[in-house]
Structure 1
Amino acid sequence: MNAPLLEVEGLTKHFGSGPAPVRAVEGVSFAIRPGEVLGLVGESGSGKSTIGRLVLRLLEPTAGAIRFAGEDIARAPERRLKPFRRRAQMVFQDPYASLNPRLRVRDIVGEALDAHSLARGRRRERVGELLELVGLPAAHMTRFPHEFSGGQRQRIGLARALAVEPELIVADEPVSALDVSVQAQALNLMQDLRARLNLAMLFISHDLDVVELMCDRIAVLYLGRVMEIGTAEQVTQRPRHPYTQALLAASPKADPDAPKLTRLLKGDIPSPIAPPSGCVFRTRCPYATPACAEVIPPLRDSGEGGAYACILDSIPERTEAA
């Protein structure tokens, strides 16, 4: 088995100082192997996007290790990060806001080539190749972003990310801003590029259906902590954590004849400034006991290489909503 390309261990990010910082990410650990796609899923405020930015060192971690190809980059000075930035790139959620409206596509895609001194003497040719790789005509390189649809702009963002031939892509909600009619096209393109280029991905989404389609493994996040992690099949077909069960039951693809868990997620996600003691999910969990307020549950082996964070030994797979 290949060694991990990316290893994250005990990753923590607090914003602000003093006695009550915003605890955005708390002790998150995972690994991604070459060519593998790991999905991060959870409600808004769960820390997904923060983790993506930490992995790329767009944010400085408070604690923890980030190892890329065996090298810990968590606290590497900026001057040492240039080689890493060529090997890891990001695709953003908003395909319009992430593109400079004053630049033509040839310069949007080409600036990455310039930054890393690539394709000297054949910049225009290389930009054309990248556009065709993502399904756009090379002749469109002279256009501005506003001349494209949302789906086409996301393809431009992909071409820009792929310009430096990265090994890892962090895709932060890459289809959530697109019309439903073009989401499938964008996802199919990303799957094709992943296979053709042997890309590893950290795929961030609030949509379990999308994550199930795209990912080999899934990590379910709640209030900055991993609640469950495992293969896509394991997490979506045999979930062990109550939070994962509730997310699945709320999915539009949920079995209409099965008992629902959608009403189990009562109220809002707690504030990361004052998270609940013990298990952070206990204030919304239908199975919570007094012990859940006392113990931060470690990840327990669920078989097949998966794990879940719950101190209870028995959790019903399906429960009628109260």
Structure 2
Amino acid sequence: MKNWETLEADENLILSKHYTPGRAGHTIKGVALHHNAGNLNARQIYNVWQTRQASAHYQVDANGHISQHVWDTDTAWALGNWNANLDYISIEHADISTSPWAVSDATLDNGAHLTAAICKHYKLGRPTWNVNVFPHSRFSQTQCPASLAGSQNAAYMARAQQWYDHMTGGSAAPSTNTTTNTNDGGLPMASCMIRNDDTGLIYYWSPESGLTGLTHPDQAKLLELAGVKTVHGNNGCPWWGRAQEITTMVQAHTLAYETAQTAALQAIAKNAGADAEAITAAVKTSVNAALANLSITLTNQAKTTETTESKEEK
């Protein structure tokens, strides 16, 4: 969002049809929440609404990018109920998983922030569920907004209230989710999920083990609940390829150290009875020799990995 106070979105892609100018004398009473039932960006949702008799005022994508598609002063065709359309501002949210549906942390945080900003701007009061913030399902027969009215509702509304309190001067800005995964020793781990937004494929990655393709949405959900972050990429920005390069380097260094340690142990065995300094020198010589001869050749595995996974998925 360029300006939360004035409700200036990151991007304006205003529809040329499938909305109604003005609000027929109605005043804005609240915010209505929706989900994409898919993972769409600003341009994609714009194209959908240009060809389908539906629309919403705002879209929050998986990276938290906010776009406006119908001006607040106009009526979006969003709720399947004309009076509700006249009374509410509708916000769409991109999903990052299905079965169950879920939105990303960035979508949740910026969607909640936008909800708070709207409530402040139009003097609607503190965001409160079923008071001035409603699910699409309140007005018509639908499961929309899925997780935002279910498993992620409490988090969404808590964040909306935190942002509202901050914007009205009542508290500090809420902190973003900076949970760090740790192993049993408390050391930071660099594992993450990497999602190809073009294909929907999700990998679990760690520097030591590399990429593992996830085969069921529940696997991604479980990792998310455990605090594992998701990195979004696409065919033009294949982060899974860079991740695999890191794994290649880590594994090569690990192998070099293992080789060096083996050589050092052999040196110790051959020099039984040697003094400590001689043994230390032998270990250092072996390790340095192994690392000096280490050569890592990186190949573009991203395309191969993605193609293989895609074929298996199909």
What TM-score, normalized to structure 1? Answer: 0.26
Q: RCO (CA 8 Å, sep 6+): is it higher in 1 or 2?
A: 1
- Greater share of helix: 2
Larger of the two Rg values belongs to structure: 2
